[in-house]
Amino acid sequence: MFPKKLTRQVICEPDNPIVEVEGGRLRGLIVEDTYIFRGIRYAEAERFHLPHKPAPWEGVKDAIIFGNSAPEMSTGIAHDAYNVPHYYYPQDENCQYLNIWTQSLDRNAKKPVMVWIHGGGFNTGSGVELYAYDGEELSKRGDVVVVSLNHRLNCLGYLDLSAYGEEYRYSGNAGTADLVAALEWVRDNIAAFGGDPGNVTIFGQSGGGGKVRVLLQTPKADGLYHKAIIESGIHFDGDYTTEVAQYVAAGTLSYLGIEPADVKKIEKIPYYKLARAASKAFADAKKQFPDNDFRWMSVLDGDYYLGQSMKRGFRPETSGIPMIVGSNLGESETNYNHFLAEGSKNSWDDALIRKLMKETYGAIADTVAKAFSHAYPKRNPADALFLDRNHRPGVRHFINLRSKQAAAPVWNYLFTLELPVNGGTTAWHNAEEQYVFHNACYIEASYIPGVTEELQDIMCDAWVSFARTGNPNHVKMPVWNAVTPDHYETMLFDRKCEMRSDHDGELYSIMPIGRRPVARRRNASVLGGGPRQSL
């Protein structure tokens, strides 16, 4: 996906490589001994309806280019494009496509399968949007089958029209139904790519992590995956209730001038008009329900989504699913707190740090500074300015509940590596992905000679070990203990990886939860993962 030097000829022949799947035969590529199949149609769907299997075809269908991305309600050039390089692709409502990287086409190989679910909330993004998502290196390094996918988003995936007839019963979860359909396709076809349908790990970051969390609460996904990884995809948010969702749907129809009796017309409205009407209805709903956390997401419907686990508890059907859950030290706070007018944070003196801490934390500045020093005794005190206050508290709460309610273990991580941009930047939203995919050496903003190579080996191998065995430990890293009800263990991924026990519990007991206003935002550097990739 991203430019790389080829040392061998890419093989793309009329009869090689060919696989047989449900529906017909597919032709892919062989790149550096990795078999790559792009743009495989896993489902078809009419607007606001459940997906169904694609029509069979005669002959051999090409799977050498990516499939369409889902339409986005707004697509601006991401402000974090240097730190998190993006790759944009044509958009179309017919977006149910997936991509596969594998080392074998032997049906008996039974290699672990890792299904990646992209970020961008439930609103934007695609399975190839970020350069970090390229699965070739992960597949080669771990000898695993890597799958990425696209699915319906925003109003196409989550507009709840259930009040207007049985045929729209699941329209508020059309996007989630696509994810289920993709996992069903993997179950039925992945053996043709050397994968084991009985050993599937779902993993995702930000909105993708949120979708993993949704799938854990989706009865129709039961049995389609066996392990789960959530990266920076948990914070304290509410469910998108039926009341709110149907208010948005009614407003959308009103703005489109469609009477309820004529609801079928909404299936033919041009997408740009539909998106504009839905955006207006969403804005109205924010005023009508000011206490709700508004974003497109799965709607509670009793079949495709039963509500978030932090409020409703984990379903017993998922109790045996091992999990890795974690986040990054800075996350989206990095967007607002790089006071570049003051130079690199690593050049600040104590007086300036105290001044900025006071501006940021007010009356609790000294308390936060002391607790931060206890949690991170070797870090620059200025890093306390950039702490994530969304994901880390949510992760801690989620894992505490999971360790008490589930039978399978859960491991916690925190990605704390300082990246080299602007003389040193705390780990931003998305910063860990390229390390997981073993692609960090291709990302300018992430690369630290000698450090990146070792850390991406450690992290990639941990994710692969987990996908293979259900346990992330391997010989190149310190022992990583699972969280228990009595011990909150965290693996810190850094220049030197380190296991810590409840190292930041005191710190987060005093930190207010949620995004904080920054008095000097006018001097902020727009660096970390931003709205395009936030949950």
Question: How much of the chain, in percent, has pLDDT values that exceed 90?
Answer: 79
**Domain boundaries of the chain, sorted by first residue:** 18-73+83-238+306-321, 248-288, 327-533
Residue with tokens 């930000």: 206
Given a cut of 90, whether residue 310 has pLDDT beyond it is: no
Structure confidence by residue, pLDDT tens digits, 218-241: 999 999 999 999 999 987 566 778
Structure confidence by residue, pLDDT tens digits, 460-481: 999 999 999 999 999 999 999 9
Q: pLDDT value at position 237? A: 61
- Tell me whether the CATH fold assigned to 18-73+83-238+306-321 matches the one assigned to 327-533: yes
End-to-end CA distance of the chain: 24
DSSP string over 291-350: TS-----PBP-SSS----HHHH---GGGTT--EEEEEESSBGGGGT--BGGG--GGG--H
Given a cut of 50, whether residue 329 has pLDDT beyond it is: yes
Structure confidence by residue, pLDDT tens digits, 376-397: 999 999 999 999 988 999 999 9
Quickly state the pLDDT bin for 104 (edges 50, 70, 90). very high
Pairing type for strands 410-415 and 489-493 reads parallel
Q: What residues are paired with 419 via a beta bridge? A: 425
Residue 350 token pair: 């104590």
Which of 231-240, 302-311, 323-332 has maximum average pLDDT?
323-332
Q: pLDDT value at position 102? A: 98
Q: In what order do the strands lie in the sheet with 24-27?
A: 18-21, 24-27, 60-62
Structure confidence by residue, pLDDT tens digits, 27-74: 999 999 999 999 999 999 999 999 999 999 999 999 999 999 999 997
Q: Are 314 and 320 in contact (CB under 8 A)?
A: no
101-118: string of b/e by CB count within 10 Å (b at 16+)? bbbbbeeebbbbbbbbbb
Quickly state the pLDDT bin for 138 (edges 50, 70, 90). very high
Q: Are 428 and 419 in contact (CB under 8 A)?
A: yes
Confidence (pTM)? 0.94
3-class SS shares of the chain: helix, strand, coil, % to 5: 40, 20, 45
Given a cut of 90, whether residue 326 has pLDDT beyond it is: yes
Residue 246 token pair: 């149907």
**Inter-axis angle of helices 350-361 and 365-375, nearest 10:** 120
Quickly state the pLDDT bin for 526 (edges 50, 70, 90). very low
CATH code for the structural domain at 18-73+83-238+306-321: 3.40.50.1820
DSSP string over 432-480: THHHHTT-GGG-TTT--TTHHHHHHHHHHHHHHHHHHHS----TTS---
Q: Which of 103, 402, 390, 43 is nearest to 229 (CA)?
A: 402
Neighbouring residues of 237: CB distance < 8 A, sequence distance ≥ 6 = 293, 295, 308, 535
Quickly state the pLDDT bin for 2 (edges 50, 70, 90). low
Structure confidence by residue, pLDDT tens digits, 178-199: 999 999 999 999 999 999 999 9
Structure confidence by residue, pLDDT tens digits, 6-16: 788 899 999 99
- The domain 327-533 having CATH identifier 3.40.50.300: the answer here is no
Q: pLDDT value at position 515? A: 53
